[in-house]
Amino acid sequence: MRGPAAAAALCLAAAVALHAAIDRWPAPAVDTPGLLYVRSPEAARRAALSYRGVTADVYWIRALQHFGTERLAGPGHVKDYSLLYPLLDLATTLDPYFSIAYRFGSIFLGEPYPGGPGRPDLAIALLQKGLAAQPTKWQYMQDLGFVYYWHLRDYHAAAEAFQRASEMPGAPNWMRPLAAVTLAEGGHRNASRALWMELAKSEEPWLRDSAVLRLAQLDAMDTMEAWKRAKDQGLNLPIPNDPSGTPFVLNPATGGIIVSPQSKLFPLPGQLEPPR
């Protein structure tokens, strides 16, 4: 067997072997650049030939392993998500219509460190790549708006993205009000709550789950502010639990409370480091 046929057979064999390995063994404890396999998306696309879909799945699974391994690593591990975007880039080059890789990938990339790489710029790049492949995919434009809103606090860019999403075929009727709310309230917490409450109605379970988490984070922020106000007025209140049931912890820098690093809600937007 020679030439393209041999290359295709090799790629398929590698994909099958990797899937089998993923089923049998967990992701390695430490990621290394060598685990990226092929670094060039174009080279991967040529090598995969007619097996691009299978190879895209391999890189997507690898991206999930990389993100999960780093996110769940124990104390003392310096988290390094440097392979996440290259793996997602490879997966979506091999399969330009890989919706879940664009949408989940942008969420992973935007998550603040240490829960993620804290790279909303790369989340935007990934979603823009998806829109280049499918210009009328309103879900990508919606996700782009939330990256601008939640991670970058760029409310005008977020509103523009929501407005553009609302004009795309198949967009839900609640999309248009998101643009108005975003501009009218300029990122106030009430506006943020309105946005996530709409997403909590989504038909997609993962999007509903993300919205529920964000709403719980907003509730935690409300509790933190109320507790600090009470303390400043001389009231001696016990430290409450956050909405996940985990006790808040004191923040010596402010005299207030903050969610614990052990909480499912950690980190809150803007909370990049545990309290010291």
List pLDDT tens digits, range 85-127: 999 999 999 999 999 999 999 999 999 998 899 999 999 999 9
Instruction: Provide CATH code, domain 3-216.
Output: 1.25.40
Query: What is the mean pLDDT of the segment spanning 208-229?
Result: 91
CB 91 within 8 A of CB 63: yes
Query: What is the mean pLDDT of the segment spanning 68-95?
Result: 92
For a pLDDT cut of 90, what percent of the chain falls above it?
50
Q: Which two tokens stand for residue 190?
A: 């009430």
Domain boundaries, the chain: 3-216
pLDDT tens digits, one per residue of 4-15: 343 333 333 344
pLDDT tens digits, one per residue of 33-55: 444 555 555 655 555 455 677 88
pLDDT tens digits, one per residue of 119-134: 999 999 999 999 999 9
What does the mean pLDDT of the chain come to? 80
With 90 as the cut, is the pLDDT of residue 191 above it? no
CB 232 within 8 A of CB 256: no
Confidence of residue 179 (pLDDT cuts 50, 70, 90): confident
Considering only residues 167 and 197, tell me which one the structure prediction assigns the higher pLDDT. 167
Q: What is d(CA 89, CA 59) in angstroms, rounded to the nearest whole number?
A: 9
Confidence of residue 199 (pLDDT cuts 50, 70, 90): confident
